[in-house]
Structure 1
């Protein structure tokens, strides 16, 4: 994020409405929201604008003091890291549940930090301020602000109160800055979050040795080798029969949305577990959506030579439709193979967003046809006349000719491979579209001259006499 923008950090125990307020302040639906505690675990960053002032908002996992849940401890570590970045802390409490022992424990910790702080009493819709705030004066943060994050009540007043104490920075106009959006997807526990943390060089998202650690799609901006990226760590997608939690269903929706918005997808599989049907289905979905893809086979370290050969065989056997996607064998925990992986991510981005000139495409088409002619249909040879670009991300090439609807699939694959090779497209599912030119005279009637009309009448009269 832009370091110059003031940073507001949302903290509080689980299910007090932090993610709802995050979405309200950023004008997005980036944070998962449901009536379930512990839904947010990682830091979620977003930007907001209010009265021509820009700011950063950080949503954190719910703080659960003395919880036995190991993930709760990891989420609390993430929240503490966020608090170190805070210019102002918004401490949320829930008026419907009243002041709790967990609120008091969090308040004691926040007082030690000495950060500028506003106590925010949420879910106060329909209640007088005095009634909503009364129970929370005892937390020792002065006059609480009462809001309803869900309905927007009191949020503008809260923002004015907070932002008037922070540097006033106007929002920058939106621009295409060349940032590459990279979604990291795969089954649970294949090492997606570990890969993100290793690329960033910090423990930015939760990584633990049990599935389901990541529930939301967490977007993290960073720079690698001089190129700006946004990494999107997604929840692991497992078989439908195992998707029983409502939270996990929401996570899958967020993962699919991340795939849709990405320029490039890093599909991660586990070298120490079989590549299964679920891996193939997920990657088939990515290919179907036309996203550029790089395959990362993780946990490669520690495998014997024979086991490595078996993994390579599994990749070629179960993922044959990914012949366009470069494969990298990596160890995310130790960082091996990540440099080459990111080189191919950048190459895939450049390929999927590239503009092709029409003469360039026609030269490739002409060379392909000259090397291997299209087949004849009923004695009449199919002719491919010219090609032009029909779209980007993924790249689409439109080829015009006659009888193109009768081209066999084998010849279409041949053309796709020739274009991919000639244009040096890496990691991109090239789309070919074929169009048959219509006869321009098929719906037009020949207009006869006066002399031709008289001649036609004489001929018709002779026919009748005979």
Structure 2
């Protein structure tokens, strides 16, 4: 296992900024507003050929000071228990805080190595004003600026000194299935993530907008590893005004770009809304696999609306995602939640599917034979051959003589034939049309054979014209003799 490093400190001391600096990406949301981070956020880092996992945590406060303080403290305690090394970050601009003292007392009780950082130090004048921090009884402080990278390298050199050598860590080469949990605010995304993870891993609250960042959770189900991404709720654009919420939504949409399968959560108690369908459209546009998760099914009055009626409404409103399976669950009680990852794995299997070129061409040939495409400007539309060019999702290219003449209804017909014959009933399909490149067509005629056929056709045409001309001259002679 790779070493695990946890970043700790009160709100707004720069933990997420340092996290982004170490992992060398903007994974964690950063804002001047205190308390942006509420959950544990994991990232992989590399320094001096030493790999390690780093955890960004929420800001440490007493339970009376913040609406989410008690749950954030639970997440922080879990991070401390999981970590091998602890990094306590303080704010050099704001000075020593009572919360710093409380957290320092808490960390003294652990036997794990603790590194003490004073952040936001960007000048020599600030270095001269740090005497108050020595009241904590700590000998060594690292003076850094996470925003500008000052002093971070020296701290990381000392941090990785006791890490295992690069060759001592074994990595699993099997890529996990990435599953993004998306939906409107307060539909139960974090509750479902905790249920699938098996413990309270992310903060859950009835208040909408509790989750602000995309939180990744690693889960193993039936010997298959999954990475669950709990995302922030996506509201209608017209209702989003705060800068922080805009960034949260952008992170949620980025999670759809990076995932293999999207779990689209719908609140059954509220019913299917236009925003639910809009979010489903985001998943369809990005080409990821999709599963509709109808949450809070335990709160629905079954006599008023049955599961069959609910699914009928869903299919009517989301015709563009007709291939996406749907499952009624309750994240609160765990009803049918054990089926979700198995269903996601099944969707992923089709999402990665590849088909033999010969089989693909026979399917297209049979489809064209049963239902010929309409004429294009009086000319026949010919399909020469097809091939699969990519997976995730399966992408096919058909080479034809008039690519722009393939009607959208005929494209839908070909897609349906592919779904039935391969079969690919649970995944999106991309079908493209290109102009032919001289390869063999379905009738088996080569380019040379086609050239000979055209030459014979021209000769036949000339002979027919000659016969017509001879017949015309004979009629003219007969007419002159009669006169």
Determine if the TM-score, normalized by the shorter chain, exceeds 0.5: yes
Aligned 1:340-351 pairs, distance under 5 A: 340-351=339-350
Rounded to whole Å, the distance in 1 between the matches of 2:66 and 2:143 is 31
Please give the secondary structure, in 2, of the residue aligned with 1:135. helix
**Corresponding residue number in structure 1 for 2:333:** 334
**Corresponding residue number in structure 1 for 2:369:** 370
- Please tell me whether residue 398 in structure 1 is matched to residue 397 in structure 2: yes
Q: Which runs of 5+ in 2 are unaligned?
A: 439-446, 449-483
Contact 1:347-1:426 within 8 A present in 2 as well = no
Q: What displacement does 1:430 show? A: 0.5
TM-superposition CA deviations, 1:393-417 (whole Å, max 9, x none): 2211111122342222211111101
TM-superposition CA deviations, 1:146-177 (whole Å, max 9, x none): 11111111112112222324444458698852
**Corresponding residue number in structure 1 for 2:459:** none
**Corresponding residue number in structure 2 for 1:449:** none
TM-superposition CA deviations, 1:121-145 (whole Å, max 9, x none): 0011123685254221112232211
Q: Which runs of 5+ in 1 are unaligned?
A: 442-466
Q: 1:308 aligns with which of 294, 306, 309?
A: 306
**Corresponding residue number in structure 2 for 1:357:** 356
Rounded to whole Å, the distance in 2 between the matches of 1:176 and 1:354 is 20
**Corresponding residue number in structure 1 for 2:477:** none
Rounded to whole Å, the distance in 1 between the matches of 2:36 and 2:382 is 58
**Corresponding residue number in structure 2 for 1:131:** 128
- Please tell me whether residue 39 in structure 1 is matched to residue 36 in structure 2: yes
Larger Rg: 2
Q: What displacement does 1:113 show? A: 3.1
The 3 A distance-change label for structure 1 pair 55 and 235 is same
**Corresponding residue number in structure 2 for 1:454:** none
Rounded to whole Å, the distance in 1 between the matches of 2:55 and 2:158 is 18
**Corresponding residue number in structure 1 for 2:101:** 104
- Please tell me whether residue 154 in structure 1 is matched to residue 151 in structure 2: yes
Rounded to whole Å, the distance in 1 between the matches of 2:79 and 2:390 is 41
Q: 2:138 aligns with which of 108, 118, 141?
A: 141
Q: More deviation in 310-319 or 250-259?
A: 310-319
The 3 A distance-change label for structure 1 pair 331 and 150 is same
- Please tell me whether residue 235 in structure 1 is matched to residue 232 in structure 2: yes
- Please tell me whether residue 21 in structure 1 is matched to residue 15 in structure 2: no
Contact 2:393-2:430 within 8 A present in 1 as well = yes
- Please tell me whether residue 271 in structure 1 is matched to residue 268 in structure 2: yes
Aligned 1:164-179 pairs, distance under 5 A: 164-170=161-167, 177-179=174-176
TM-superposition CA deviations, 1:275-317 (whole Å, max 9, x none): 1111111111110111111111111113232323442233123
TM-superposition CA deviations, 1:15-56 (whole Å, max 9, x none): 100011111122222111121111111101112111122222
Contact 1:332-1:338 within 8 A present in 2 as well = yes
The 3 A distance-change label for structure 1 pair 438 and 120 is closer
Please give the secondary structure, in 1, of the residue aligned with 2:53. strand
Contact 1:65-1:105 within 8 A present in 2 as well = no
- Give the length in aligned residue pairs: 438
The 3 A distance-change label for structure 1 pair 135 and 326 is same
**Corresponding residue number in structure 1 for 2:316:** 317
Contact 1:49-1:171 within 8 A present in 2 as well = no
- Please tell me whether residue 424 in structure 1 is matched to residue 423 in structure 2: yes
**Corresponding residue number in structure 1 for 2:189:** 192
- Please tell me whether residue 183 in structure 1 is matched to residue 180 in structure 2: yes
Q: More deviation in 429-438 or 42-51?
A: 429-438
With structure 2 as the length reference, what TM-score do the two structures score?
A: 0.86
Rounded to whole Å, the distance in 2 between the matches of 1:206 and 1:79 is 11
Q: More deviation in 211-220 or 166-175?
A: 166-175
Please give the secondary structure, in 2, of the residue aligned with 1:380. coil
TM-superposition CA deviations, 1:367-395 (whole Å, max 9, x none): 21222222234543322221101222221
**Corresponding residue number in structure 2 for 1:458:** none
Aligned 1:79-94 pairs, distance under 5 A: 79-94=76-91
TM-superposition CA deviations, 1:431-454 (whole Å, max 9, x none): 11112337999xxxxxxxxxxxxx
The 3 A distance-change label for structure 1 pair 113 and 428 is same
Please give the secondary structure, in 2, of the residue aligned with 1:70. coil
